[in-house]
Amino acid sequence: MKLTFLVDNNSLIGSYFLAEPALSMLIEDGDKRILFDAGYSDAFLINAHRKGLDMLHLDWIVLSHGHFDHTWGLDALIRHYFEAASQNMPFSRPQMLAHPQALVTKRKGILPEIGMLIAEEKLSHQFELMLSSKPVWLSDKLVALGEIERVLDFEPPTPLGERMEESGPVADTMPDDTAMAYVTDKGLVVISGCAHAGICNTVEQAKRITGVDTVHTVLGGFHLQKAGPERINPTTDYLAALDLEGLYACHCTDLAAKISLARKCPVMEVGSGLTLEF
């Protein structure tokens, strides 16, 4: 499996890829090509072009959750497909996998929309839409984890703004937050978008779904921003106990959290353009 960070908050030193406070990855597993999140703008497409990566032939688009920094780049991808069609260029019609709550309106404070911009009906015209809160296997080794069970005391559900339901607005504890896991001979590679459910809860979910207890690598956004000791200390201890080969903390993980994690865990540098192979 090959995984490329198409966009992240940072760009690696000596590279010339765009960065933005968002996340997008391309996962290639055999003949399967999966876009995991689409960032905030067209930056992920620009970086893919600079990496020589074809974005017109995707099998899946998987959304980690419905927030703007993971979904608003879909507008650019739809334009990319439209322009290809108008020039009679070949392209695929990928399946899109998302939790049903990923498509609802979300708002925070004075921001009228921090969620998906494109309605379900219009998305279904562009992609083969699959809405599911259950795990879905995308290949023999790669699985989307479905709705993450919150089982650890130090990672309780934490509301972020509101989401709109038929009965009206409710505090958004992000039930749509999900992640992916890849099974290797050396253990799991856990691939997180933002880990609103908690990165340790996410790892526990990956173990349950796959039946594999050994974890090789954890990567992605960990949602550790201004985390107090009651959160960062048990998180660090949990991840350290996994005896990881690599910990690639990016996107919504601040510097203080990375420093804390690095005291006990093999924290690696990550940024736009980085490619990892497992």
Each residue's pLDDT expressed in tens, for the chain with a length of 278 residues: 999 999 999 999 889 999 999 999 999 999 999 999 999 999 999 999 999 999 999 999 999 999 999 999 999 999 999 999 999 999 999 999 999 999 999 999 999 999 999 999 999 999 999 999 999 999 999 999 999 999 999 999 999 999 999 899 999 999 999 999 999 999 999 999 999 999 999 999 999 999 999 999 999 999 999 999 999 999 999 999 999 999 999 999 999 999 999 999 999 999 999 999 99
Nearest-angstrom CA–CA distance, 221 and 82: 30
Helix (H/G/I), strand (E/B), else coil: 102: helix
SS3 content of the chain, % helix, strand, coil (to 5): 25, 30, 45
Q: What are the beta bridge partners of residue 182?
A: 142, 189
41: exposed, middle or buried (C-beta count within 10 Å: 0-12, 13-18, 19+)? middle
Specify the CATH number for the domain of residue 36: 3.60.15.10
66: exposed, middle or buried (C-beta count within 10 Å: 0-12, 13-18, 19+)? buried
Nearest-angstrom CA–CA distance, 233 and 218: 17
Contact 90, 61 (CB under 8 A): no
Q: In the chain, how many domains are there?
A: 1
Chain position carrying tokens 């933002």: 194
Chain position carrying tokens 């106990």: 241
CA neighbor of 274 nearest in space, from 223, 220, 225, 196 = 220
Contact 246, 258 (CB under 8 A): no
- Distance from the first to the final alpha carbon of the chain: 5
pTM summary value: 0.97
Host domain of residue 208: 2-277
88: exposed, middle or buried (C-beta count within 10 Å: 0-12, 13-18, 19+)? exposed
Chain position carrying tokens 């790892």: 203
